[in-house]
Amino acid sequence: MIPFSILDLSPIAEGSNPSASFRHTLDLAQHGERWGYNRYWLAEHHGMPGIASAATAVVMAHVAGGTRTIRVGAGGIMLPNHAPLVIAEQFGTLEALYPGRIDLGLGRAPGSDQTTARALRRNLESDADAFPQDVLELQDYMSDTPRQRVLAVPGKGAKVPLWILGSSTFGAQLAAHLGLPFAFASHFAPQMMQQALSLYRANFQPSAQLAKPYVMLGFNVFAADTDEEAHFRATSMQQAFVNLRTGRPSQLPPPKAGYLDTLGLPERAMLDSVLSCTAIGAAATVSGQIQDFIARTGANELMITSQIYDHAQRLRSYEITAEVRQSLARAQAGL
């Protein structure tokens, strides 16, 4: 059975604060490690009232320091926001502190709006079009024999696996050209998923890091003890998406019974589109939906995200998902 991993945005629930979010993040990572999840990734976003993982490398250190074996990574660092040297130093430091456990996923989106991007960079001269060159510069800083005169210390020689993130064919083509693993944001932008996967697999060029294509796909899971409860828990994420897409980004709201019935057709169609790579239900329901998704995509790994308002219920969703994976693994092994 393919590995399952965890994607966390350190969500800030309505009425809560970042301190509580970071406590919950570490608690989830510790539970995920015990439940057999492969990686724990955090994502860079800025200016979002409901997302606390803006200083991604700092939160990664918090998680890695409180766990022992699970890989900890960025899913991802939005490279246009940063000088490649800074990222080489940050992740070289993380790798020195927690050797063999750090991943670095790279994206070219700003993780924010243009006003916030300008505040991050002071100007917009570093843009997404420079992303491939920035990736190559970062690779060089972290190589054993950098060609550049400036040394990343720590960073030089750091054995941190690089990933390319994407929600379109651009990232797929770059990952294939560089021979890097590819993580697709199908959990919120699934429209070009199959086209991107086909391009990546057809054009992949082996590299020192990776001999053959490796795809990790984002997938939403809202699991609970009953289908009805799971659908109720999922309404927090649905509300947050509608708020975001209508220009009203918010903290993660509490679930709301009958929420979908209050929406107009455009909002329902938007949710059906952006959240089409989603499993909602009790264990048996979620198991079937996950199996169908893996069979349809040929994913090598799933990156599970579960934006649930109540922390205990979020833990329960990830626990059920881990149990589903173990059951599927036993079935595959004929046990």
Report which of 247, 147, 18 is spatially closest to residue 9, judged by C-alpha positions. 18
Per-residue pLDDT of the chain (335 residues; tens, 9 = 90+): 999 999 999 999 999 999 999 999 999 999 999 999 999 999 999 999 999 999 999 999 999 999 999 999 999 999 988 999 999 999 999 999 999 999 999 999 865 677 777 787 656 565 557 899 999 999 999 999 999 999 999 999 999 999 999 999 999 999 999 999 999 999 999 999 999 999 999 999 999 999 999 999 999 999 999 999 999 999 999 999 999 999 999 999 999 999 999 999 999 999 999 999 999 999 999 999 999 999 999 999 999 999 999 999 999 999 999 999 999 999 999 87
How would you classify the pairing of strands 215-223 and 278-281?
parallel
Q: What is the C-alpha R_g of the chain?
A: 19
pLDDT number for residue 6: 98
pLDDT number for residue 244: 93
The amino acid present at 230, given as its one-letter code, is A
Q: Tokens 């550049």 map to which residue? A: 148
Backbone angles phi, psi at 313, to 5 degrees: -70, -30
Report which of 127, 105, 106 is spatially closest to residue 117, judged by C-alpha positions. 127
pLDDT number for residue 118: 75
pLDDT number for residue 119: 80
pLDDT number for residue 161: 98
Q: Could you tell me if 109 and 44 are in contact, meaning their C-beta atoms sit under 8 angstroms apart?
A: no
Backbone angles phi, psi at 143, to 5 degrees: -80, 170
Rounded to an integer, what distance in angstroms lies between the CA atom of residue 41 and that of residue 325?
A: 19
Q: What is the DSSP string of 160-205?
A: --EEEEESSHHHHHHHHHHT--EEE-TTT--TTHHHHHHHHHHH--
| 3-state SS assignment for residue 223 | strand
Q: List, in sequence order, every residue forming a beta bridge with 163; answer none if it has no partner.
A: 105
